[in-house]
Amino acid sequence: MAQAGKPGMLAKFVLIVGLIGLAALPVGALGYRFGQWELTTGLAVVFSGIVLATIVLVLGIATLIFVYTRRRRADRMPALIGLAASVVVLAVTGPQYAGLSMPMTTDVATNRDEPPSFEHLAANRDPGANLLAYTEDEARVQAEGYPDLVGIRAEGGVEVNFAKAVAVARALGWDVVNEDANRGLIEATDATFWFGFEDDLAIRIRREGNETVVDLRSASRVGLHDLGTNAERIRSFVDRWNDD
């Protein structure tokens, strides 16, 4: 006969710690985003949640084996909820840590010899933000890691492609802050989902021979590693451009 009654201490531990680990993700990220603490604190809270989730994953599986072999019905739901919470944490953060395998860069451009420049946005960066000088090291790292990122070669003139580039940027949810049609330059910002890290984007449209070339550049304001975010942002633009 299955045992009933109150959940045991082990099942309660899995439940409580699993939920704490789950709560640590939004608390750490949103606390930084809304100015409640520094970035290091926010990252520490999120990392603590990941550690707790890892512990609960292992302990939760062991608890469930114990629960089902001993037929402790009251322990099943708490253990399952705690285990599910840990799985959610690791599923959400896993891709971010997988991004550590991406090239270590914070500035990605489709034209590595002559990347688009930042004019309006350069003045909006905080004093401690990453520099906007596109270095030879950035170009080398990107050439090795993202050889697929090249400029878009489009039909039609600069004017029509300039308008299309603005429309695509806005459709992606980017905040377009500068449209200089005379120079063929568009500048925009985009923020990451959880922490709200702001990244700057420059789009340059110019005529080269019989084609119009659209080049993009995405640069992170903070951090030493963008975890592949800038490259994915450029790919999203290219995909949207090709679909329109």
If DSSP states are collapsed to H, E and C, what string results for 129-154?
CCCCCCCHHHHHHHHHHCCCCCCEEE
Rama region for 35: left / alpha / beta (φ>0; ψ in -120 to 50; rest): left
Q: CA-CA distance, 235 to 149, in Å (whole number)?
A: 8
Read off the pTM: 0.78
**How far is it, in rounded angstroms, from Cα 173 to Cα 175?**
6
pLDDT, tens digit, 9 for 90 and up, residues 23-43: 999 999 889 888 888 888 988
Predicted pLDDT at 98 = 66
Q: How far apart are CA 134 and CA 219, in angstroms?
A: 9
Confidence (pLDDT) at 1: 37
Report domain 107-243's class.
alpha beta
CA atoms within 13 A on the CB side of 201: 32
Q: 73-98 vs 9-33: helix axis angle to the nearest 10? A: 30
- Do the Cβ atoms of 202 and 121 come closer than 8 Å? yes
Q: Which residue in the block uniquely carries the two structure tokens 């110019």?
A: 206
End-to-end Cα distance, the chain:
64
Domain boundaries, the chain: 9-101, 107-243
Nearest 5°: the CA angle 36, 38, 128 is 130
Q: What is the pLDDT of residue 4?
A: 54
pLDDT of residue 240: 96
pLDDT profile of the chain (244 residues), mean per 10: 67 94 92 86 92 94 86 86 94 75 89 93 84 89 93 94 97 96 95 84 94 96 88 96 90
Whole-angstrom distance, CA of residue 220 vs CA of residue 82 = 36
